């Protein structure tokens, strides 16, 4: 994954989470080990003004972890398993660098995420994705990630026999 530009990190998120969503946990972790800062943290808000979860933190469902990449991967994998998803597909749309000051940058994108269920239904999530990035040794890493859900719909497909 290219990390020479902070906007590349939004795509790193999508590739990593989809590897985990397909059951390839190790690949997702490996991608994120390269792109997350050692002090990485994230906040997930289910919808504007709704409940949120911050990790690491006292309300995070993952309290013990070996690395920040594994923390993020364990959180994603736990949610996918809890919901019964067979696979995921995350798309980062309108990715833009909103500001840069020296070795710090702010990146914003829209997320559209499809989460596939065994009964041929799809949970579709839309959200805002914001990251704070830091440049270290010429490569960019995510210091902080925030996702705020903006819309969600379940698409009920017909079961395939």
CATH of residue 115: 3.10.450.50
pLDDT by position in tens, the chain (length 161):
667 899 999 999 999 999 999 999 999 999 999 999 999 999 999 888 888 999 999 999 999 999 999 999 999 999 999 999 999 999 999 999 999 999 999 999 999 999 999 999 999 999 999 999 999 888 999 999 999 999 999 999 776 66
**pLDDT number for residue 27:** 96
- Does some domain include residue 114? yes
H-state helical runs in 22-111:
25-35, 68-83
- Does some domain include residue 160? no
Residue the block writes with tokens 């398993």:
81
- Does some domain include residue 2? no
Based on the structure, what is the number of domains in the chain?
1
Structural domain for 33, as ranges: 8-155
- Does some domain include residue 47? yes
Q: Which two tokens stand for residue 78?
A: 């736990």
> Which residues, listed in sequence order, are joined to residue 37 by a DSSP beta bridge?
none
Q: Which pTM value belongs to this model?
A: 0.90
- Does some domain include residue 3? no
């Amino acid at each position: 994954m290219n990390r020479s530009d902070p906007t590349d990190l939004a795509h790193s998120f999508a590739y990593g989470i989809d590897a985990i969503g397909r059951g390839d946990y190790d690949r997702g972790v490996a991608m994120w080990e390269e792109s997350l800062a050692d002090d990485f943290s994230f906040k997930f808000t289910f919808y504007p003004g709704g409940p949120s979860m911050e990790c690491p933190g006292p309300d995070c469902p993952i309290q013990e972890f070996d690395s920040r990449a594994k923390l993020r991967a364990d959180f994603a994998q736990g949610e996918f398993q809890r919901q019964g998803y067979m696979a995921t597909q995350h798309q980062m749309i309108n990715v833009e660098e909103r500001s840069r000051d020296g070795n710090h940058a702010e990146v914003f994108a829209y997320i559209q995420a499809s989460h596939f269920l065994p009964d041929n239904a799809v949970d579709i999530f839309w959200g805002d994705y914001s990251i704070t990035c830091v440049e270290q040794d010429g490569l960019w890493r995510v210091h902080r990630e925030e996702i705020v859900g903006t819309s969600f719909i379940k698409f009920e497909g017909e079961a395939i026999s």
